[in-house]
């Protein structure tokens, strides 16, 4: 059995987990998240502990038990604490401005780039060169951060562009004559 799949998921106080036919729903202070259950995994709720077991002895069921456990754990953490990604803008004149559910970027193009944030995702700009993306759904927070980074990825010669706050860019040496 999967090492991750063996570990139970502790459900803290204030979080409500409901398992219906083919869907698991987690409700907490951060919102409501839902996930379709896989038929290869059986889920049991034992007094605030969610346990995941493979439905049969196949290798796929074993792998999916660990995957489902981690996805549900991410949902529980998301509705209690939430997830965040931090991006930084490097370059002369590069700036970001958050206005409600919109993000306006000025990153060296002849026009500003505007992003509309989906429901459940909030964006903030503590400084004009930092972007903070927060939300309960880990996958959506990471996807939005990746889409914003893709507007102007860091280039390898000067390092200009939008990068994750913890990302290290290897600077290339220019051609010598």
Q: What is the pLDDT of residues 7-24, one digit of tens each?
A: 899 999 999 999 988 899
In this prediction the pTM is 0.89
DSSP 147: H
- In this structure, whether the domain defined by 83-164 belongs to CATH 3.50.50.60 is answered with no
CA 98 to chain centre: 19
Taking only the tens place, the pLDDT of each residue in 112-167 is 999 999 999 999 999 999 999 999 999 999 999 999 999 999 999 999 999 999 99
Residue spans of the domains in the chain: they are 3-80, 83-164
The Cα 125–Cα 90 span in angstroms is 14
Instruction: For the chain, state the CA radius of gyration.
Output: 21
Q: Which CATH number fits domain 3-80: 3.90.930.12, 1.10.10.350, 3.40.50.2300, 3.20.20.70?
A: 3.90.930.12
């Amino acid at each position: 059995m999967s090492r991750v799949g063996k570990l139970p998921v502790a459900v803290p106080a204030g979080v409500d987990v409901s398992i219906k036919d083919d869907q698991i729903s987690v409700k907490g202070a951060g919102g409501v998240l839902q996930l379709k259950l896989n038929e290869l995994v059986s889920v049991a709720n034992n007094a605030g502990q969610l346990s995941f077991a493979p439905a049969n002895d196949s290798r796929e069921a074993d792998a999916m038990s660990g995957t489902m456990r981690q996805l549900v754990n991410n949902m529980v953490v998301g509705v209690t604490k939430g997830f965040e990604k931090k991006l930084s803008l490097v370059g002369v004149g590069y700036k970001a401005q958050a206005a409600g559910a919109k993000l306006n970027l000025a990153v060296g193009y002849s026009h500003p780039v505007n992003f509309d944030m989906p429901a459940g995702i909030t964006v903030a700009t503590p400084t004009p060169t930092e972007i903070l993306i927060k939300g309960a759904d880990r996958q959506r927070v990471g996807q939005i951060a990746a889409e914003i980074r893709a507007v102007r990825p860091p280039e390898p010669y000067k390092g200009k562009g939008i990068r994750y706050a913890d990302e290290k860019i290897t600077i290339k040496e220019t051609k010598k004559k």
